[in-house]
């Protein structure tokens, strides 16, 4: 009898602990109400240059009376998780992760503006014989991550050339390789080419291990695919419209400054990575990389939809993405 | 099957499955009641459906096979190396004084910290993942082995020596059989360390086929259902391995060595 009562007690305790954990999961983040600061995320990437310099100057006095707290991230999916989990209110993020978020958590984020366009290149080892997009047939191409901007752009390029990735029954191996490991993957012959973000593409080209694939670069430039966009949580946008307007205005000022003087971006980026890693990158490489991108708050019509279509074809989407969410709503 | 045997099997299932069933029920309750954000915690039904899709559309079975093959290979290499080093260091004071502190220190360093080195030395491929898995296995196995050797009864050793056993003969006929029960504990421990190292490595070296790559894919595209589905697969593999291999091995060793547990 006592043993049975003890077993029942253990069962009740287990239920209470489990329900408590579930309530914690359910309650974490998403707290409604007023904000006493703006939590802004960005990636430690050159394509996030306007955000990096903006946080030093344009945001330093806060947004509509709210102080800005900056949070650097290493990759877009984690940044999106932080946004959807309630740890961030606004973020500079690639269009790929934003599209994924809209498909799996519809209506939770709001696209405000573009930040940087371009900033990615298809590069290949000289020995691979890859000179055109069609030459990618039977070859292996690195992208930083599944579903990120480079992965989706590569799939668009392949589609134009009548090719497909190996995960869709095609002949082109699409291999996710973190930016930091890209050099090793190319040296080790794991991949023949890479659709790399800047400054990694410029760095690899400067070392001579790869050459740009010019036809692909021209096509990417024609699409005017954003490298970085500004998004906020819908909750923050509703609760703090003045702060959102100030965020958009401050971003526009930072973008204009970045476009007018790329050297400021190069210096701020080097200062940031020196703070994190203790190392810096060659200034010439950074300036070459910056020449391959445009700081611009406009998002080219249809460019975001291209990302949605590529993600859909790759089977990455969790649900439909309304075209309206791909158009900036800064107001 | 007799009624008694059927009752025993049913009770066995209830006894071993009640906690898992409770967790799944609570999970369903929390999601069905709308207490949890569906993005953060999908329903059990959604995860089950995703799991089905992963097996039919993404050939998850191939990923599972690749992971298990790598796991068994890495574990076997790590166990062999760990047992050999443990036996060698456990049998020599000089070697133990020099090697044991280093291995014990290495145990505190997460195996994944060595992945950049493995990628540099062996390439961005499955070999680097295998090496990391073997290394993750090796450390706890070596420590378990020489700890086991230290637990061999001095009386037993004295008796063996008094009967003329020396050197390798003493090791083979007395020491090794005496450490087997502790080695089984080491095998179980190193198996879990092998899993951890393997998953961490597969997540980074995503070009290699495996469950870690699918887990990373789910994270990258924000598909939490995929992440939970892969975790469930790993959990099931863990339960099956425990029940079909380690529990039986432990039972056999306990019977063979005349050991009984607390219960």
Segment B162-173, tens digit of pLDDT: 888 888 888 888
Chain A residues touching B224 at Cβ < 8 A: 104
| A239, A34 contact by CB (below 8 A) | yes
pLDDT at A229: 96
Q: Is the pLDDT of residue A30 over 50?
A: no
**H runs (alpha helix) in A161-294:** 182-187, 200-207, 214-223, 234-239, 241-260, 262-277, 283-291
Please give the share of chain A, as a percent, with pLDDT higher than 70: 90
Q: Is the pLDDT of residue A4 over 60?
A: no
Structure tokens at B253: 């060793």
**B104-134 residue pLDDT tens:** 888 889 999 998 888 878 877 888 999 999 9
Better pLDDT: A295 or B122? A295
Distance from CA of A200 to the nearest CA of B (A): 17
Residue B30, C-beta contacts closer than 8 angstroms, at least 6 positions apart: A19, A22, A25, A26, B36, B41
Residue with the two structure tokens 């003493």: B170
Do A26 and B37 lie within an 8 Å CB cutoff? yes
If we measure between CA atoms, which residue out of A126, A90, A138 comes closest to residue A236? A90
If we measure between CA atoms, which residue out of A311, A303, A161, A304 comes closest to residue A222? A303
Is A181 at the interface with chain B, CB within 8 A? Answer: yes
Pick from A11, A26, A101: CB nearest B30: A26
Q: Is the pLDDT of residue B260 over 90?
A: no
Structure tokens at B139: 């450390």
ipTM greater than cut 0.90: no
Better pLDDT: B184 or B261? B184
Identify the band that residue A296 occupies on the pLDDT scale cut at 50, 70 and 90: very high
Please give the share of chain B, as a percent, with pLDDT higher than 70: 97
Q: For residue A83, what is the DSSP state?
A: H
Pick from A104, A175, A181: CB nearest B223: A104
Do B222 and A15 lie within an 8 Å CB cutoff? no
Residue with the two structure tokens 């430690």: A44
What's the CA angle centered on A28, arms A27 and A33, to 5 degrees? Answer: 80
Distance from CA of A180 to the nearest CA of B (A): 10
d(CA A208, CA B78) in angstroms, rounded, equals 39
Do B40 and A25 lie within an 8 Å CB cutoff? yes
d(CA A195, CA A326) in angstroms, rounded, equals 23
Reported residue count of chain B is 263
Pick from B22, B123, B221: CB nearest A146: B221
| A234, A98 contact by CB (below 8 A) | no
Identify the band that residue A128 occupies on the pLDDT scale cut at 50, 70 and 90: very high
Identify the band that residue A31 occupies on the pLDDT scale cut at 50, 70 and 90: very low
Distance from CA of B44 to the nearest CA of A (A): 14
d(CA B213, CA B202) in angstroms, rounded, equals 6
Q: Is the pLDDT of residue A289 over 60?
A: yes
**A103-112 residue pLDDT tens:** 999 999 999 9
Put residue A191 in one of left, alpha, beta given phi > 0 → left and psi -120 to 50 → alpha. beta
Q: Which of B213, B222, B229 to mutate to test the interface with A (most CBs of A within 10 A)?
A: B222
Do A19 and B207 lie within an 8 Å CB cutoff? no
Q: Which long-range CB contacts under 8 A does B213-219 form with residues at least 24 apart? A: B213/A176, B213/B63, B214/B54, B214/B58, B214/B60, B214/B63, B216/A146, B216/A176, B217/A146, B217/A176, B219/A77
Q: Is the pLDDT of residue B256 over 60?
A: yes
d(CA A157, CA A139) in angstroms, rounded, equals 14
**B95-110 residue pLDDT tens:** 888 888 898 888 889 9
d(CA A144, CA A176) in angstroms, rounded, equals 5
pLDDT at B205: 81
Put residue A173 in one of left, alpha, beta given phi > 0 → left and psi -120 to 50 → alpha. beta
d(CA B212, CA B128) in angstroms, rounded, equals 14
3-state secondary structure of B57: helix
**B148-163 residue pLDDT tens:** 888 888 888 888 888 8
Q: Is the pLDDT of residue A182 over 60?
A: yes
Contacts with B, A 140-169, CB within 8 Å: 145-148
d(CA B71, CA B117) in angstroms, rounded, equals 20
Rounded average pLDDT over B243-249: 89
Residue with the two structure tokens 């309630």: A86
User: What is the number of alpha carbons within 13 Å of residue B214 lying toward its C-beta?
Assistant: 29
User: What is the number of alpha carbons within 13 Å of residue B97 lying toward its C-beta?
Assistant: 3
Taking the mean position of all CA atoms in its chain, how far away is CA B108?
A: 18
Chain B residues touching A26 at Cβ < 8 A: 30, 35-37, 40-41
Residue A319, C-beta contacts closer than 8 angstroms, at least 6 positions apart: A103, A104, A106
Find the residue in B nearest to A27 (Cα): B36
Across chain A, mean pLDDT equals 88
Find the residue in A nearest to B115 (Cα): A181
**H runs (alpha helix) in chain B:** 3-32, 44-57, 60-90, 93-107, 115-122, 126-150, 154-162, 167-170, 176-204, 211-220, 224-241, 247-256
Rounded average pLDDT over A163-188: 88
């Amino acid at each position: 009898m006592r043993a049975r009562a003890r077993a029942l007690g253990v069962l009740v305790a287990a239920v209470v602990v489990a329900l408590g954990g579930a309530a914690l999961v359910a309650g974490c983040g998403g707290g409604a109400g007023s904000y006493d600061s703006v939590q802004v995320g960005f990636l430690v990437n050159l394509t996030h240059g306007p955000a990096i310099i903006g946080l030093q100057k344009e945001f330093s006095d806060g947004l509509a009376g709210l102080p800005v707290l900056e949070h650097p991230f290493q990759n877009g999916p984690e940044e999106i998780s932080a946004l959807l989990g309630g740890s961030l209110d606004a973020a500079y993020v690639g269009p790929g992760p934003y599209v994924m978020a809209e498909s799996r958590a519809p209506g939770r984020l709001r696209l405000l503006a573009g930040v940087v366009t371009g900033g990615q290149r298809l590069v290949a080892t000289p020995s691979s014989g890859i000179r055109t997009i069609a030459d990618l047939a039977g070859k292996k191409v690195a992208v930083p991550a599944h579903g990120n901007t480079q992965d989706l752009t590569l799939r668009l390029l392949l589609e134009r050339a009548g090719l497909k990735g190996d995960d869709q029954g095609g002949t082109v191996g699409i291999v996710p390789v973190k930016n930091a490991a890209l050099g090793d993957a190319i040296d080790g012959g794991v991949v023949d080419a890479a659709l790399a973000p800047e400054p990694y593409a410029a760095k690899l080209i400067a070392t001579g291990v790869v050459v740009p694939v010019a036809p692909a670069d021209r096509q990417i430039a024609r699409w005017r695919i954003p490298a970085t966009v500004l998004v906020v949580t819908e909750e923050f946008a509703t609760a703090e419209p003045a702060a959102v307007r100030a965020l958009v205005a401050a971003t526009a000022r930072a973008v204009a400054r970045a476009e007018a003087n790329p050297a400021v971006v190069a210096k701020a980026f080097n200062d940031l990575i020196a703070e994190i890693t203790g190392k810096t990158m060659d200034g010439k490489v950074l300036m070459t990389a910056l020449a391959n991108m445009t700081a611009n708050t406009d998002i080219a019509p249809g460019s975001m939809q291209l990302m949605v279509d590529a993600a859909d074809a790759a089977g990455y989407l969790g649900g439909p993405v309304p075209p309206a969410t791909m158009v900036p709503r800064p107001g | 099957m007799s009624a008694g045997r059927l009752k025993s099997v049913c009770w066995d299932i209830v006894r071993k499955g009640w906690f898992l069933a409770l967790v799944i029920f609570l999970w369903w309750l929390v999601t069905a009641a709308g207490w949890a954000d569906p993005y953060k915690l999908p329903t059990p039904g959604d995860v089950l459906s995703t799991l089905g899709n992963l097996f039919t559309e993404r050939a998850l079975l191939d990923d599972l096979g690749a992971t298990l093959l790598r796991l068994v290979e890495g574990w076997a290499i790590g166990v062999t190396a760990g047992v050999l080093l443990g036996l060698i260091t456990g049998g020599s004071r000089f070697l133990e004084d020099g090697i044991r502190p280093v291995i014990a220190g290495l145990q505190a360093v997460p195996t994944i910290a060595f992945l950049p080195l493995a990628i540099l030395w062996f390439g961005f491929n499955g070999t680097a993942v295998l090496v990391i898995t073997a290394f993750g296995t090796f450390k706890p196995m070596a420590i378990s082995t020489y700890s086991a050797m230290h637990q061999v009864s001095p009386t037993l050793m004295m008796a063996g020596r008094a009967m003329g056993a020396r050197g390798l003969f003493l090791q083979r006929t007395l020491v090794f059989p005496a450490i087997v029960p502790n080695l089984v504990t080491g095998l179980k421990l190193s198996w879990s360390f092998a899993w951890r190292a393997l998953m961490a490595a597969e997540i980074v070296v995503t070009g290699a086929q495996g469950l870690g790559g699918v887990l990373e894919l789910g994270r990258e595209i924000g598909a939490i259902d995929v992440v939970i589905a892969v975790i469930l697969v790993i959990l099931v593999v863990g339960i099956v391995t425990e029940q079909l291999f380690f529990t039986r091995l432990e039972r056999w060793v306990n019977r063979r060595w005349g050991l009984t547990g607390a219960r």
